């Protein structure tokens, strides 16, 4: 079973990522860590994980793009995407795979959930404790685990960076008739606040968020090259007892620039090239 799963952890200045990996214990050598951090921490992690990749803290790349790339390049039977602050039960992976095989589903999140509106533009999940696997049909980025073939049936939203990821994945799995279940609360829990949600990030968390709203309001969405049927969105809303068609677009454009810093001629690890050229101008 160990060779059948690939595990990705993306971390933005994560305080608990080492503890998150330690909780995986015997599966730590299946872990790829993408570590967006001021320090290259390769020496800290390299000896007990499969792959360590350091990303400079101020790079504007999309975390979702890293996840898409990981899924597309995996050759394992199962894939798990894990946040950097989640502590899993010792037998989490074995129990999860057994349930996935029996129910042909995706697992994501702990306990029961309820969708509530934050404001005119976005929603949040209210989680309640449960001792059972529960059909939620909603993704929670705490963890996503499923068969690689099911994860590849939808395109991971690399056009997003953070906000909208859960909503997009949820409606796309629903549209493809793939059920999402949460696991019992006893199988894991958050170990603390997620850094990416509580400190400055160099990229916009709302990047392309309005494209997700287009999916729910039946507008043409370039990112999926089409629309999802009104009936599917209606059924999705009925299931969650929440009308997703009422969500509004953000009234401002909050997208990042499209170029990549490291492709520019003046990009240099020590910044010497940039400083020299700047001084020559003055």
Distance CA 76, CA 2 (A): 10
The 10s digit of each residue's pLDDT in 162-204 is 999 999 999 999 999 999 999 999 999 988 888 999 999 999 9
How many angstroms separate the CA atoms of 24 and 161, rounded? Answer: 26
Q: Which tokens sit at 42? A: 């390769």
Query: What pLDDT shows up at residue 14?
Result: 93
| Domain edges within the chain | 2-263
* CATH T-level fold of 2-263: Spore Coat Polysaccharide Biosynthesis Protein SpsA; Chain A (3.90.550)
HSE of 241, CA atoms in CB hemisphere, 13 A:
6
Q: Is the distance from CB of 61 to CB of 53 less than 8 angstroms?
A: no
Distance CA 99, CA 106 (A): 9
Q: How far is CA 51 from CA 10, 16, 36, 182, in A?
A: 12, 18, 14, 28
Rounded to the nearest 10 degrees, the angle between the axes of helix 230-240 and helix 165-175 is: 110
Q: Taking all residues of the chain, what is their mean pLDDT, rounded to a whole number?
A: 92
Local confidence band at 280 (pLDDT 50, 70, 90 cut-offs):
very low
Q: DSSP 3-state assignment of 184?
A: coil
Q: Could you read off the pLDDT of 19-65 as tens digits, one per residue?
A: 999 999 899 999 999 999 999 999 999 999 999 999 999 999 999 99
Instruction: Please write the tens of the pLDDT for every residue from 98-126.
Output: 999 999 999 999 999 999 999 999 999 99
Instruction: Check if the beta carbon of residue 11 is closer than 8 Å to that of residue 37.
Output: yes
Could you tell me how far CA 232 lies from the centroid of its own chain? 23
Of 21, 16, 17, 19, nearest to 7 by C-alpha is: 21
Record the tokens describing residue 6, joined without a space.
């690939």
């Amino acid at each position: 079973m160990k060779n059948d799963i690939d595990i990705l952890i993306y971390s933005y200045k994560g305080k608990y990522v080492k503890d998150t990996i330690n909780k995986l214990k015997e599966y730590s050598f299946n872990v790829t860590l993408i570590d967006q951090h001021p320090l290259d921490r390769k020496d800290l992690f390299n000896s007990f994980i499969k792959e360590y990749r350091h990303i400079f803290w101020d790079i504007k790349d999309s975390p979702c793009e890293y996840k898409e790339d990981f899924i597309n390049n995996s050759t394992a039977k199962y894939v798990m995407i894990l946040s950097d602050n989640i502590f899993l039960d010792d037998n989490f992976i074995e129990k999860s795979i057994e349930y996935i095989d029996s129910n042909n589903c995706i697992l994501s999140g702990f306990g029961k959930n309820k969708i509530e509106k934050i404001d005119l533009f976005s929603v949040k999940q209210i989680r309640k404790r449960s001792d059972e696997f529960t059909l939620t049909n909603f993704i929670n980025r705490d963890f996503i685990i499923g068969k690689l073939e099911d994860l590849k049936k939808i395109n991971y939203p690399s056009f997003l960076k953070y906000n909208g990821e859960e909503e997009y994945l949820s409606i796309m799995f629903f549209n493809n008739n793939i059920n999402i279940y949460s696991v019992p609360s006893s199988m894991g829990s958050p170990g603390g606040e997620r850094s990416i949600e509580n400190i400055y990030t160099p990229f916009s968390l709302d990047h392309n968020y309005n494209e997700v709203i287009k999916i729910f309001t039946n507008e043409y969405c370039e990112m999926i090259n089409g629309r999802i049927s009104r009936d599917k969105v209606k059924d999705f809303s009925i299931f969650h007892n929440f009308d997703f068609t009422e969500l509004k677009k953000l009234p401002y454009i909050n997208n990042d620039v499209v170029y990549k810093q490291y492709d520019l001629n003046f990009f240099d690890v020590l910044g010497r090239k940039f400083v020299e050229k700047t001084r020559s101008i003055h």
